[in-house]
Amino acid sequence: MMNGLGIVWQQRGVMLGGLLTTLELSVIGALLAALLGAGIFAALINRARPVRYVAIALVDAMRCVPFMLFCYLLYYGLPSAGVTLDNFTVGIVALSIYHASYMAELLRGAWKELPKDTVDAGIAFGFHGFGLLRIILPPVVITAVPMLGNQFIQIIKDSAFLVIIAVQELTFSANAIQSIYYVPFASFMCAVLCYWALCLIVEGGVKFFSLKTSMQR
C-alpha cells in the first residue's frame, strides 16, 4: 500500500490536473446552473399560467432523469441536432442544464417560506419583470444558501459521472493511474479524499456565509 501511495505521489501532476478540471467543471457548471435556475425560478413564479406550467413540466422532467443518462442524451443527441462540442463543454452544458432545474426548485422553496411584502411593495412602486425579480431574488437567495450549497456539493459529485464521456476530471485521472500501475486503493482513495476536501470547503463557506448574514440582521 505504501508503494501505491508512492506511485500516486509520483503521478501527482495527473491527479492535480484532474482535480483542477473537476473544480473548473463544478464552479462553471454551478454558476451557469444558478443563472439558468434564477431564470427558471422567475418562470415558476410567473403569473401567466402557460409560462408557469412549462417551467413546472421542465423541472419535474429533470427530476426524473438520472444525470448519467442525461449526459449520454446530450453526448449522442447534440451531434444529431447538428451541434458538435468537445467533451468538456458537453460536461458543462449537462451539469448546468440539469442542475438549473434543481436550483430553481430550491429557490421556489425558499420563496414560499418568505413573506410576500417585498413583492407587493415592489409592485406598488411600479416594478415589473426583471426589475421586480431583482427585488425578489436577494432575500430568496440568502434564505436558500444552505440548500444551494448542498446542490453545489451534488454538482461536484455529479461531475464524476462525466468520466463516462471521457472528460479528464478527478475520477478519470485516478482511473488512468490505476489502470497503468494497478494501484486501485491508493489512487481512488486519493480521489475520494480530494472530493471530501472540496465538499468540506463548500460546507465551511456556507457556514461562514450564514454566520455573516445572521450577524448583519
Partner 1 sequence: MEAGDYLALLTGAWTTLAIAIPAIVMGAPLGLGLALIRWRKLRGLDTAATIVVSLFRATPSVTLVLLIYYAVPQIGIQLPELPAAILTLTLGTMAYTCEIWRGALLAFPVDQYDAAMAMGMTRAMRFRLIVLPQIARASLPALINEMTLLIKVTPAAAVIGLVEITRAAVRIGAETYQPLPPFIVGLVIYVVILGCLVGLQRVCEHRQTRLGAP
Residue of 5, 58, 142, 157 that binds partner 1 (CB under 8 A): 157
Residue of 72, 127, 181, 209 that binds partner 1 (CB under 8 A): 72
Q: How far is the CB of 118 from partner 1 (least distance, A)?
A: 30
Residue of 35, 123, 164, 166 that binds partner 1 (CB under 8 A): 164
Are 75 and 165 in contact by the 8 Å Cβ rule? The answer is yes
Residue of 15, 25, 26, 67 that binds partner 1 (CB under 8 A): 67
Name the maximum alpha-carbon separation found in the chain: 70
Question: How many degrees, rounded to 5, is the angle at CA 65 between CA 85 and CA 36?
Answer: 60
The set of cell numbers assigned to 119 is 413583492
Residue from 101, 108, 104, 103 nearest 64 by CA: 101
Interior/surface letters 68-98, b for 16+ CB within 10 angstroms, e for the rest: bebbeebbeebeeeeeeeeebebbbbbbbbb
List own/partner pairs for 127-131 with CB under 8 A and 24 or more apart. none
Q: Does 165 bind partner 1 (CB under 8 A)?
A: no
At residue 95, what is the residue type?
L
Binders of partner 1 in range 15-54 (CB under 8 A): none
Binders of partner 1 in range 178-217 (CB under 8 A): 178, 184-185, 188-189, 191-192, 195-196, 198-200
Q: Does 170 bind partner 1 (CB under 8 A)?
A: yes
Site string for partner 1, 105-144 (x = CB under 8 A): ----------------------------------------
CA distances to 20, 50, 70, 197 from 58, rounded to whole Å, are 31, 12, 13, 33
Residues lying near partner 1 in the complex (CB under 8 A):
63-69, 72-73, 76-77, 80, 153, 156-161, 163-164, 170-171, 174-175, 178, 184-185, 188-189, 191-192, 195-196, 198-200
